[in-house]
Amino acid sequence: MIRSLLHVGMTVPDLEAGRSFYQLFGLESHASGSDLVFRCANREQDQIRLMEGPKKRLSYISLGTDDVGMLTLKTRLERAGVRITETPFRADSGGIWFQDPHGDWVNVQVEQVISSTMPAPPEVNSPGQYRRIGTRACSVESMQKRARPRRLGHLIKFTPDVDRSVAFYTEVLGMKVSDRAHDILAFLRGSSGGDHHILAFAKSTHTGLHHLSFEVGDIDEIEIGAQTLIRAGYEDVFGLGRHVGGSNYFHYIRDPWNSLVEYFWDIDIIPEDDSAWIPLNVSPEELTAVWAAKPAAPGFELNFELPD
């Protein structure tokens, strides 16, 4: 039923700190009532909604489905005893609202992911696969390039019970497990295939946001974006590197409230007919990285959100 990740809502104590960070990250902002909304350039779809409040927290996630999926989801929610409610927030994104087993808010809408209209990045040449011939991938002008995220690809949420969260999001919401690290970490994709994961769960004492991850055009943009934020004084946490879970290249930077944002490129895509895909179930260390320029900074795995 769940086919896509649409956007996330976060409560933060300082909207202007959020504006400064996410604009430097490469997103575009506009006011929506008393909230601040961010989008990727050349893409008409909200990605982050910041709402002002006393402390930072991941307030909700918004997921997409189709008409048939919505009908099935409502039936499954009723069977599971999950109550559909009115929106608990000022801005109503439409669709339906409910809470998962740990009290986190979920919004589901009948909506498709809107594609970016940015130009395609240069083709990549690899041994025996030379697809860029007679054209430069880099030029003098490339030195003025900046990161321009194309979409919100996924997020990792903390949960006190990974198995319980996975059961709810697969059995009730119809998502599928792509890989996992026992009861510590699990990666979930949409019911119709696509990205290796649009949502993942990491074990903690309470819920919260580990990171948001945005796709960029190439590995250059990962480092251009990361180095721009580092030079501005934001904390360099982990990267450049390449994950095992998802295979994507990555670099993580800490946001103003101690959660993380990730630039990524080149993620595994799993088809709807996923019979050939065999999920891994290994240690967190084995899923984390094939390689990284340096070890993750202390606290990479910690939940800095304060529980209610």
pLDDT over threshold 80, residue 217:
yes
Ranking 68-77, 89-98, 101-110, 126-135 by mean pLDDT, the lowest is 89-98
Residue-level pLDDT at 139: 81
What domains are there in the chain, each with its CATH number?
A: 4-114+149-292 (3.10.180.10)
Residue 165's alpha-carbon distances to 34, 106, 183, 185, 197, in angstroms, are 32, 13, 10, 11, 15
Which one-letter DSSP state was computed for residue 84? P
Band of residue 267 on the pLDDT scale cut at 50, 70, 90: very high
Does the pTM exceed 0.85? yes
Residue-level pLDDT at 90: 85
Residue-level pLDDT at 140: 79
What number of other Cβ atoms are within 10 A of residue 260's Cβ? 21
Amino acid at 114: I
pLDDT over threshold 80, residue 308:
no
Query: Average pLDDT of 69-89?
Result: 97
Strands (E), the chain: 4-12, 28-32, 35-39, 46-52, 57-65, 96-99, 105-110, 151-159, 176-181, 185-189, 194-195, 199-203, 208-215, 236-242, 249-254, 260-265, 269-270, 291-292
Residue-level pLDDT at 142: 76
Band of residue 245 on the pLDDT scale cut at 50, 70, 90: very high
pLDDT digits (tens, 9 = 90+) for 153-184: 999 999 999 999 999 999 999 999 999 999 99
Band of residue 307 on the pLDDT scale cut at 50, 70, 90: confident
Band of residue 295 on the pLDDT scale cut at 50, 70, 90: very high
> What does residue 228 show for φ and ψ, rounded to 5 degrees?
-60, -45
Query: Average pLDDT of 244-259?
Result: 98
Ranking 15-19, 135-139, 247-251 by mean pLDDT, the lowest is 135-139
Mean pLDDT score of the chain, rounded to an integer? 96
pLDDT over threshold 80, residue 144:
no
The CA angle 46-197-169, to the nearest 5 degrees, is 90
